[in-house]
Amino acid sequence: MLKTDLSAGPLAGLRVLDLSTMLAGPYAATLLGDLGADVIKIESHYGDESRHLGPKRGDERGPYLSLNRSKRDLVLDLQRDEAQAIFARIAATADILVTNIREPALSKLGLDYEQVRAHKPDIIWIHVTAFGADGPYAGRPGIDFLAQGYTGVLTLNGDPAGAPVRTGFPAVDVMTSLLVSNAALAALRARDLTGEGQRIEVSLLDALMHAQASSIGTFLVTGDRPKRTGNRSLYFAPSGVYPTKDGKHVVITTPGEKFFAKVCRALDADWDTDPRFHDIQARLANEDELDRVMAERTRQYERDELVEKLIAADVLTAPINEVEDVIEDPQIRHNKMIVPVDHPELGRLDVTGIPIRFHGTPCSVRKHPPMQGEHTREVLGELGYANGDIDALIDDGLVADVPEMTRRRAERKAKKTA
């Protein structure tokens, strides 16, 4: 048995086709690429929707750059029947395919499970949907925000006296991306044992229900209705955001009596002997007053001074960092959660790192977020197409490389300004 070289990561030797757009699907494929798989992003000439949204750096957009590292890129017009022969060749080399294209477009592009399975019988085919592949909401468009509405997350987030508030980052998409990558790995294990691939479906709705075991789950088993608490906890106090002398804030939380005692000692207070605050139930009953006296005390310190003092006392605390603070945080830097990659046109790019540390088969962010069509010639060459054949495919509009995409963008720009 030949031994696979895993120096590129634990998934080295595997190939993933990314035919998804925006966040959940592409970010799942990104993680698989970080873990060593050869991920090929297949785009139309229009490209991933994230290439058209958000702030720009050069000719690229921030959302695309931040989500699509560790991949190669092939432009292929699957709306053309002639492109199916090209896709068949590349699908035959793949282990995993990730898509979030809805029907009927999915089948028209030749990408449903049975169509792809005809090219690669043991393919692991993963379809990301908003609400599920079947059922009353099947086929409807949806994004993170809608899933938060359906699952009640919007009713639980925000200030108790205010309006519902969505999470400030795309939590549902990110959770879904992790479930997609997890499903791919489980399916690989099953394929190793049975020799068979399979069809897999993951939805934003299900991902967010899975994440609510402590809220919806508690309601199911106890009948206790979850409440919106803002920065407070349902179960203990103090827990919240407290101001500092320099106009900043810190988090302080106390899930247990010992932590409240540590807060009292660190802030030179005797609140734990006050009948209003002497145990958790008393503190919950007098939470407004407790937060008031704590805020009076925390305002006596600048943020960094207070955090240092509380950490020294083993208090559960954290600064509330602005984005500029986050990217310079020493632990985040130490954990390599911000890493540089070299982009051929944009120079150095800093991207988020890999959230799993393998000691036996180390992983790394190996490739910059690819330009549209950057690896078209390379991938087609690996599939046996000669340079002249690739030139003809580009001329016919079936595929595109970077120069062709640059030409097309210039042409569109000229038409708009004419």
- Which DSSP string corresponds to 156-220? HSS-TTS-----SS-HHHHHHHHHHHHHHHHHHHHHHHHS--EEEEEEHHHHHHHHTTTTHHHHH
First and final C-alpha spacing in the chain: 63
Distance CA 35, CA 414 (A): 42
Judgement on whether residues 64 and 145 belong to the same structural domain of the protein = yes
Identity of the amino acid at 3: K
Shared domain for 147 and 259, answered yes or no, is no
How far lies 282's CA from each of 25, 61, 67, 241, 307, in Å?
47, 52, 47, 20, 26
42 and 184 share a domain?
A: yes
SS in 3 state form for 102-168? CCCHHHHCCCCHHHHHHHCCCCEEEEEECCCCCCCCCCCCCCHHHHHHHCCHHHHCCCCCCCCCCCC
CB 79 within 8 A of CB 110: no
Distance CA 381, CA 385 (A): 5
Pair 298, 238: CB distance under 8 Å? no
* Euclidean distance between CA atoms 87 and 95, whole angstroms: 14
Q: Mapping DSSP to helix (H, G, I), strand (E, B) and coil, where does residue 349 land?
A: strand
Q: Are 350 and 287 part of one and the same domain?
A: no
Q: Looking at the structure, do residues 269 and 203 belong to the same domain, yes or no?
A: no
300 and 184 housed in the same domain: no
65 and 148 housed in the same domain: yes
Structural domain includes residue 273: yes
* One domain for residues 202 and 90: yes
Give the separation between CA 388 and CA 372, rounded to whole angstroms.
Answer: 21
Same domain? 274 vs 308: yes
User: Looking at the DSSP assignment, which residues form a beta bridge with residue 39?
Assistant: 16
Q: Is 229 part of a structural domain of the chain?
A: no
Q: CB under 8 Å to 322, separation ≥6 — which residues?
A: none
Tell which of 269, 285, 319 closes a domain: 319
The CATH number of the domain where 347 resides is what?
3.40.50.10540
Which of 319, 343, 369 corresponds to the end of one domain?
319
pTM for this prediction: 0.93
Burial 66-90 (b: 16+ CB within 10 A, else e): bbbbbbbbbbbbbeeeebbebbbbb
Place of tokens 């790192």: 353
Q: What is the CATH number of the domain that holds 257?
A: 3.30.1540.10
Q: Is residue 230 part of a domain?
A: no
Q: Are residues 113 and 262 in the same domain?
A: no
**Strand pairing report for 347-352 and 338-343:** antiparallel
Sign of the alpha-carbon torsion through 237, 331, 321, 30: negative
Domain membership flag for residue 349: yes
How crowded is residue 345: how many other Cβ atoms within 10 Å of its Cβ? 12
* Per-residue tokens: 290: 């407790």
- Residue ending a domain, among 293, 319, 345, is 319
Instruction: Answer yes or no: is 231 within a domain.
Output: no
- Is 228 inside any structural domain? no
- Are 300 and 379 contained in the same domain? no
Neighbours of 351 (CB within 10 A): 20
CA angle 395, 92, 21 (to 5 degrees): 65
Neighbours of 120 (CB within 10 A): 20
Report the alpha-carbon distance of residue 55 to residue 52 in Å, rounded: 9
Q: For residue 2, what pLDDT is reported?
A: 54
Per-residue pLDDT, 149 = 93
Under-50 pLDDT residues of the chain:
1
Whether 199 and 259 map to the same domain: the answer is no
For residue 81, give its domain range: 15-211+334-417
At 1 the pLDDT is 44
Which residues are paired to 63 by β-bridges?
Answer: none
Q: Is residue 82 part of a domain?
A: yes
Total count of domains within the chain: 2
Instruction: With respect to residue 270, please indicate whether it lies within any of the assigned structural domains.
Output: yes
Quickly list DSSP for 235-283: S-SSEEEEE-TTS-EEEEE-SSHHHHHHHHHHTT--GGGSTTTSSHHHH
